[in-house]
């Protein structure tokens, strides 16, 4: 649930420039969080070397892949419906093969093959095995690899950048998660936490910079847990040699390295975990202009009792202390949240604790969902989903209304200021306006004039809605 799911991107098909020597066609759709979309770029890179060009025409595809998410039941049901569509097309085009990738593949494993709705099932750590799996299905056999790895980070694969604006890109720095939050399937679908070698991350950023990208987002299930000490799982760090411990690279170190090496590249990161975020990270953010002043800091609940039931290793008091320290060190930092409403046993008092916490923090924006029981999680096995749906919906409405009030409060604070904006593309509501984001990750729209995508522009903020800043450009920033 901590992974950000952009509803506008769900089901996007990925397309890249064709290679004339490739003769087969790949149709790939992605669902879920940023990590899944990043993984699809890795898959496309691997399959391009296997003779596949991408297509947006499902009927023309030789291979159809869907990269799946298990974080919410809604995501799984959407994928089920898409698989029905694929199989309807497959009856017309029998040579077409269908495969499921990602978290849902890991969770359901051979059930997909037993139901005869797919030819191939590939877990998130097995994408390098795709060439072998393709051979199997080409010869008429079902294929599956859902083995979770202790060391796979795909650090040696340069992802193909798909459906990109050519301005911003994701760079994965960790895989897996060691936090056993009771509501979450991630530890079971993506395995134990391991970090990617720092130089491979910096090389990928350099490649993006050389190709004209202006902003990167460092991605991980929990970026604050990034720890490189020569390879291996984070949990095994205590067994590392004294030299390995002395030369280990933390997330704060990685941010510092990236910011220094690429001083004009905007750097964002997601997602953070309150129990693992150190003030070193905040101080590094304050030290470098090119590290964006925004932290996504999921809290999930404002009730200590519910946090304990979720196995969140922080209390509301510790969260408040972290918020206070962030505000002191980096006053201009925006903070966003994830919130689960109606977790098992949640009372009205627990709900009021959440509202109270939100009033205190006044988040810039947030991602709020009612609790959805996920098969295989500790909560599903040990806790009854006992909060009625109508109560969940009522509480969610209260949470959303309060968040909108806080968002309006935060956006109004930008009025009459001049802020640097990176132009990402046209506004969804007006072709005459550009859309970009400021350092706090707030969307800004302004008249296009003669400015271009990928340019840094200083914008005077004249008006706002609860989620968007409206202004006019007053010139280029010194970051171009």
Report d(CA 425, CA 442) in Å as an integer.
Answer: 15
Rounded Cα gap, residues 198 and 227, in angstroms: 9
By C-alpha distance, which of 161, 103, 152, 100 is closest to 126? 152
464 is in an annotated binding site: no
Distance CA 478, CA 465 (A): 28
Listed in order, strand segments (DSSP E) in 201-274 are 215-219, 227-228, 249-250, 266-270
CB 421, CB 476: distance < 8 Å: no
Residue among 451, 466, 14, 368 nearest 436 (CA): 451
Q: How many CA atoms lie within 13 A of 78 on its CB side?
A: 18
> Which residues lie below 8 Å from residue 253, measured CB to CB, with a gap of 6+?
198
Q: What is the SS3 assignment for 68?
A: strand
User: Which neighbouring-strand residues pair with 296?
Assistant: 336
69 is known to lie in a ligand binding site:
yes
Residue 292 assigned to a binding site: no
The upper half-sphere exposure of residue 364, i.e. CA atoms within 13 Å in the direction of its Cβ, equals 23
Residues 236 and 250: their CA atoms lie apart, in Å, by: 15
Burial class (CB in 10 A: 0-12, 13-18, 19+), 75: buried
184 annotated as a binding-site residue: yes
Helices 251-261 + 198-210 axis angle, to 10: 30
> SS3 for 265?
coil
**Residue positions forming the annotated binding site for [4Fe-4S] cluster:** 33, 69, 103, 177, 181, 184
**Residue positions forming the annotated binding site:** 33, 69, 103, 177, 181, 184
């Amino acid at each position: 649930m901590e992974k950000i799911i952009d509803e506008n991107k769900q089901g996007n098909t990925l397309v890249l420039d064709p290679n004339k020597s490739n003769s087969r066609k790949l149709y790939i759709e992605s669902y879920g969080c940023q990590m899944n979309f990043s993984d699809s770029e890795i898959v496309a890179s691997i399959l391009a070397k296997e003779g596949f060009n991408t297509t947006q025409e499902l009927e023309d595809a030789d291979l159809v892949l869907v990269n799946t998410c298990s974080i919410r039941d809604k995501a799984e049901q959407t994928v089920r419906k898409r698989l029905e569509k694929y199989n309807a097309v497959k009856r017309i085009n029998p040579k077409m093969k269908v495969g499921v990738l990602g978290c849902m593949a890991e969770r359901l494993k051979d059930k997909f093959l037993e139901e005869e709705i797919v030819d191939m099932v590939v877990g998130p750590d097995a994408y390098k095995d795709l060439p072998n799996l393709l051979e199997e299905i080409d010869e008429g056999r079902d294929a599956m690899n859902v083995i979770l790895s202790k060391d796979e980070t795909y650090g040696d694969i340069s992802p193909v950048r798909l459906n990109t604006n050519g301005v911003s890109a994701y760079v994965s720095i960790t895989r897996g998660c060691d936090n056993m939050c009771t509501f979450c399937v991630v530890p079971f679908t993506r395995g134990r936490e391991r970090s990617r070698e720092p130089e491979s991350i910096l090389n990928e950023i350099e490649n993006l910079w050389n190709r004209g990208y202006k902003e990167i987002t460092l991605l991980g299930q929990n970026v604050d847990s990034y720890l490189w000490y020569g390879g291996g799982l984070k949990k095994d760090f205590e067994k590392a040699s004294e030299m390995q411990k002395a030369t280990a690279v933390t997330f704060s170190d990685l941010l510092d390295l990236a910011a220094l090496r690429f001083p004009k590249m905007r750097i964002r990161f997601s997602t953070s975990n309150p129990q693992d975020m150190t003030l070193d990270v905040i101080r590094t953010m304050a030290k470098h202009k090119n590290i964006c002043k925004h932290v996504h800091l999921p809290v999930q609940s404002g009730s200590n009792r519910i946090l304990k039931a979720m196995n969140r290793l922080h209390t509301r008091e510790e969260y408040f202390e972290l918020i206070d320290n962030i505000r002191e060190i980096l006053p201009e930092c925006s903070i966003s949240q994830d919130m689960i409403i109606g977790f098992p046993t949640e009372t009205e008092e627990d709900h009021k604790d959440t509202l109270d916490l939100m009033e205190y923090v006044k988040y810039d924006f947030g991602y709020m969902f009612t609790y959805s029981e996920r098969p295989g999680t500790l909560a599903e096995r040990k806790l009854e989903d006992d909060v009625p749906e109508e109560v969940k919906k009522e509480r969610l409405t209260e949470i959303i209304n309060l968040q909108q009030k806080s968002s309006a409060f935060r956006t109004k604070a930008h009025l009459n200021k001049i802020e640097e904006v990176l132009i990402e593309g046209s506004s969804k509501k007006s072709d005459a306006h550009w859309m970009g984001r400021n350092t706090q990750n707030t969307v800004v729209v302004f008249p296009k004039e003669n400015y271009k995508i990928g340019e840094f522009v200083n914008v005077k903020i004249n008006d706002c809605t609860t989620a968007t800043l409206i202004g006019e450009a007053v010139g280029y920033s010194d970051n171009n």
